[in-house]
Structure 1
Amino acid sequence: MTVLVNAIVMVGMFLVVPAGLRLTGLAELDRIRRFWPLFAAPGAVALWLPRGPTATALALCYALGTVLLALHAPRRARRGRDLSPAGIALLTALVTPAVAALALVAERWGHELFGFELEILALTVPHFHFAGFAAALVAGLVCRVDDGPAGRFAALSVPLGTLLVLVGYFIGEWAELAGAVVLTAGMWTVGLLTWRLGRAEGRDRTTRLLLFTSAAVLVATMLLALSWAVGEATGLPHPSLTWMAATHGLGNALGFALCSLLAWHRIRTLHPSESRTA
Structure 2
Amino acid sequence: MLVIVPLGLTLLPFSARWWFAFAVPGVISLWLPRGAVSITLASIYLAGTLGLIALAVRDFLRHKRLRPREIALYTALATPSIAALALVAERSSYELFGFDLTVLSLTVAHFHFAGFAAALIAFLVAGPRTTAGDAAAISVPLGTGIVLLGFFLGDPVELAGAAVLTAGMWLVGWNLWRRARQVDRTTGVLLTISAAVLVATMLLALSWALGHVVATPYLPLEWMVATHGLANAVGFALCGLLAWRRLGTTEGAG
Query: Counterparts of 2:75 and 2:239 in 1: how far apart (Å)?
Result: 20
Specify the alignment match of 1:3 in structure 2.
none
Query: Counterparts of 1:41 and 1:241 in 2: how far apart (Å)?
Result: 28
Specify the alignment match of 1:205 in structure 2.
185
Query: Counterparts of 2:214 and 2:61 in 1: how far apart (Å)?
Result: 42
Match of 1:99 among 54, 74, 82: 82
List runs of 5+ in structure 2 lacking aligned partners. Answer: none
Does structure 2 retain, via aligned residues, the 8 Å contact 1:55–1:108?
A: yes
Question: Residue 230 and residue 53 in structure 1: after superposition, are their counterparts in 2 closer, same or farther (change >3 A)?
Answer: same
Match of 1:163 among 145, 150, 166: 145
* Residue 254 (structure 2) pairs with residue 275 (structure 1): no
Deviation at 1:42, TM superposition (A): 1.1
Match of 1:24 among 6, 9, 12: 12
Does structure 2 retain, via aligned residues, the 8 Å contact 1:107–1:121?
A: yes
Does structure 2 retain, via aligned residues, the 8 Å contact 1:264–1:275?
A: no
Question: Residue 97 and residue 275 in structure 1: after superposition, are their counterparts in 2 closer, same or farther (change >3 A)?
Answer: same
List runs of 5+ in structure 1 lacking aligned partners. Answer: 1-12
Instruction: Work out the percentage of aligned pairs sharing the same amino acid.
Output: 57
Deviation at 1:80, TM superposition (A): 4.6
Query: Counterparts of 2:252 and 2:83 in 1: how far apart (Å)?
Result: 26
Query: Counterparts of 1:78 and 1:181 in 2: how far apart (Å)?
Result: 32
* Residue 154 (structure 2) pairs with residue 172 (structure 1): yes
Specify the alignment match of 2:208 in structure 1.
228
Task: Give the TM-score of the pair, scaled to structure 1.
Answer: 0.88
Q: Which amino acid in 1 is paired with 2:116?
A: F
Specify the alignment match of 1:121 in structure 2.
104
Q: CA RMSD for the aligned pairs?
A: 1.3
Match of 2:92 among 75, 87, 109: 109
Total equivalences in the alignment: 254
Specify the alignment match of 1:44 in structure 2.
27
Query: Counterparts of 1:96 and 1:259 in 2: how far apart (Å)?
Result: 20
Match of 1:130 among 113, 116, 121: 113
Deviation at 1:115, TM superposition (A): 0.8
* Residue 241 (structure 2) pairs with residue 261 (structure 1): yes
Task: Give the TM-score of the pair, scaled to structure 2.
Answer: 0.96
Q: Which amino acid in 2 is paired with 1:245?
A: V
Q: Which amino acid in 1 is paired with 2:246?
A: R
* Residue 39 (structure 2) pairs with residue 56 (structure 1): yes
Question: Residue 78 and residue 233 in structure 1: after superposition, are their counterparts in 2 closer, same or farther (change >3 A)?
Answer: farther
Does structure 2 retain, via aligned residues, the 8 Å contact 1:162–1:179?
A: yes
Deviation at 1:45, TM superposition (A): 1.2
* Residue 226 (structure 2) pairs with residue 243 (structure 1): no
Q: Which amino acid in 2 is paired with 1:151?
A: G
SS in 1 for 2:212: helix
Query: Counterparts of 1:180 and 1:152 in 2: how far apart (Å)?
Result: 19
Q: How does 1:71-82 map to 2 (within 5 A)?
A: 71-82=54-65
If each structure's helix is expressed as a fraction of its own residues, which one has the higher value?
A: 1
